[in-house]
Each structure stands twice: as C-alpha cells, then as structure tokens.
Amino acid sequence: MRDTWLSGDRVLKCIGFDATEDHRVKGGGGTYAVGNFSICPDPELPPFKERYDVKYPLREYGFNRAKCGEVIKSAGLPLPPKSACFFCPAMRQIEIQRLAVVDPDMYWLAIEMEAMYRGGHHFRGDQSWTVRAKHKETSEKEIFECQAQDAADARRQFREAYNDTARPFKYQLSASKAVPGLGRNFAWKDVELVQLSVFDRPEFANVGVRRG
C-alpha cells in the first residue's frame, strides 16, 4: 500500500455496513478510514484521510442483514456467526468464554496482548481517571489525568490543581475512569487478571513479552 500512496494513488477500502446501518455512516462514515485522525503519520505520505477511497458495497446493493444471509446460503456456504476481532473491546463475557472453546489459540493470544500492554510503559494503572473541564465563562477546555479512588477524588484533584476549590466553581467537570487494558471493557478485565500467567506458555516464548 505504501507504494500506492507514494505514487499518488489511493487504496480502495470496502466496508461491510449493510443497508440498514445508516447510523454507522452518518457524517461521512463511522470508520477511521474516513475520519480526520492522525494515524500513522509519515512525512512522505498524504494525511491518513487522503489515503483511501471508501465504498460500502452492501449498501450500494441494498442488502440488509437478512439478504446477506440469503446470498451466503444460496452459494452453498454456512451462515457465519457475528464477526469481530478476536480481541474485540466490546466482547461480552459469554463471547470471551466461547472464544476460549472454539479458538483457544486466539483466546490466549488476546490475553498475551493484554499482558504485553500491562507490562509496558503505556499502561497507566487501574486507578487512572480523566477529568474533562470547561470554563463556564471563557469556554476554555482542559483535560486532566490523575490516579484517583473515584470520580469525586478525581474532580477534587482537578480543582486543587486549577485553584478552583471555592464555590461558585469556575469549571464544569466530568470525570471518567480509564477503561482497563487495550480499550477493553470489564468483561475482558475479569479474564485478564486471572490469566496473566500466560507469560509461561511455551507457544508464546518468542512474542517479545517483558518478563520480570
């Protein structure tokens, strides 16, 4: 793809949103390929948004999910289950348990990825909070990160740091706890804390994990 971009051409990216998923393409598309994101910046390449032409073939054909199933079955193929990355952040507990049964290698690789992250310098800890603030008069916005016991503690730390401890407060605040791991939900967190002994599994001996 790099050669394509260096030549001035774009890569065609086809995304499988069906004809009923208007909410996923609202505002130009619910995908990183069409968003104004700074991903993999490279001075030799165009901005990320200019690297792709994006198409939605199923939407162009007018196919909803039921029609997709009909076409798949008419081709003599088995109807696939709901698809997702094997390390999907949005997995529910039952889906993680199913992955462990139907594809244990991918299950353990997902755990290994989390172990690598938690052992690396990007991991901020399980008590990391982000406070987003907006000044009530100037509308100036601030982002404040801290280690806190709960939302009230995070807000208190912000107000102390910004000299905003007396009412009426100057800033309007919202505090949110950092999602554990690689953007995952708490279903994965429950698994990860139990399974981090994956470091000792021989099939991952050469993955490059930091070992203590």
Residues 73-93 pLDDT 10s: 999 999 987 777 888 877 888
> Does the pLDDT value for residue 7 go beyond 80?
yes
Range 42-67 average pLDDT: 90
Residues 62-76 pLDDT 10s: 999 999 999 999 999
Computed over every residue of the chain, the mean pLDDT equals 81
Provide the pLDDT confidence category of residue 211 given band limits of 50, 70 and 90.
Answer: very low
DSSP string, 124-137: --TTEEEEEEEETT
Instruction: Please give the biggest Cα pair distance in the chain.
Output: 70
The full set of domain ranges for the chain reads 2-74, 128-177
Q: Look at residue 36 and give its three-state secondary structure.
A: coil
Alpha carbons 200 and 64: distance in angstroms, whole number: 45
pTM, two decimal places: 0.50
Range 114-121 average pLDDT: 77
Task: Give which of 40, 34, 37 is closest to 52, Cα–Cα.
Answer: 34
What the block records as the tokens of 125 is 């800890």
pLDDT over 90 percentage in the chain: 38
Residue of higher predicted confidence among 165 and 31:
165
Q: Which residues pair with 132 in a beta bridge?
A: 143, 174
Q: Is-contact 101 93, C-beta < 8 A?
A: no
Provide the pLDDT confidence category of residue 11 given band limits of 50, 70 and 90.
Answer: very high
The pLDDT of residue 20 is: 92
